[in-house]
Amino acid sequence: MYPPAPYYAPPPPAYYAPPLMPPPPKRYSPWLVPLIFLVNLGLFIWIMYENNCPSKISKDQCMLGQYLDRFSFQPWKDNRMVGPTPETLQRLGGLDRKLVVDGEPWRLLSSMWLHAGLIHLFANMLSLDFVGLRLERDFGFHRFVFVYVLAGLGGNLASCLNIIKHDWSSKTISVGASGAIFGLLGASLSELITNWTVYDDKCSTIMILILNAALNLAIGFLLKMDNSGHVGGLVTGFFLGFVLLVKPQFGYVSSKYIPSYHQVKRTARHNFCQYFLGLLALVVLVILYGVGVGKLFNIKEIKEHLPDSVKNY
């Protein structure tokens, strides 16, 4: 009598393969956000040098005039942000709506790198660190800089159109990175929506972003700041996030990490909703920028119908 034959498990089917695991993400250390901070700080020092408060009033009247000399600040009653005069900001690239329309459109970009004072500068840079470091770490500097600059441009366009609509003769000078930073907040919100499958604690994160944006807008209203630029940057950044900040959906693995024997169904890089939202947002952005630029630079035709006192400003 022979012993029973040993039992062997049947071989796995031909299509069997172990589950795919995406490779660990590459480590990226943000460098553009710190560079933006240094550039803004350097430009503010240059602004204070050009402002030269003691040349306008006595050194004793300038804030910290005895210690900072040429770099001292305007008196508190003149600038509660602790900084230069509006005339200095206008001369160095601040957003003056009349000058933009009359041949200096570069101010739409230059103004976002200038700040009205130390308080303004450090409040904006703290906000930039809060929202910007994560975005640059997750998406790299190239996509980050597009969102930052384009959102700032959108905010400045909205600011120009708002002041022209309400008071063409207003001499308000707008400066600051607030529009771009609000754009980063808006992009963070849309990025969370379009990349919904790859995040945990989504609802709490959305609430934090919304409350942050609402709080900053409320502060802008209380301090009578240029909230049209904030809203313009927020809206622009929201749509830019759908276009520029799209991640591969959960479960996607690049083909270069898939072995040749693996025959199971693969997850697509992006899903239909991501493509649809990205295309829709791109169309909206083209319309918004087109309408904004068109309205802004056709103001000269409108001025022909205004009183001489306004046309001659």
Q: Catalytic site residues?
A: 178, 230
Spatial distance between the Cα atoms of 48 and 185, rounded to a whole number of angstroms: 30
**Cα angle 116-118-121, degrees, rounded to a multiple of 5:** 70
Spatial distance between the Cα atoms of 294 and 298, rounded to a whole number of angstroms: 6
| Longest CA–CA separation in the chain, Å | 120
Spatial distance between the Cα atoms of 106 and 116, rounded to a whole number of angstroms: 19
The radius of gyration of the chain from alpha carbons, rounded to an integer in Å, stands at 27
Between the alpha carbon of residue 8 and those of residues 4, 11, 17, 197, 282, the distances in Å are 12, 9, 20, 41, 59
Give the 3-state secondary structure of residue 177: coil
Spatial distance between the Cα atoms of 129 and 66, rounded to a whole number of angstroms: 33
Contacts of 36-44 with C-beta under 8 Å, sequence gap 24+, read: 36/128, 36/132, 36/148, 36/177, 37/125, 37/128, 37/129, 39/113, 40/113, 40/115, 40/121, 40/124, 40/125, 40/177, 41/121, 41/125, 43/113, 43/114, 43/115, 44/83, 44/114, 44/115, 44/118, 44/121
Residue 266 has φ and ψ, to the nearest 5°, of -100, 150
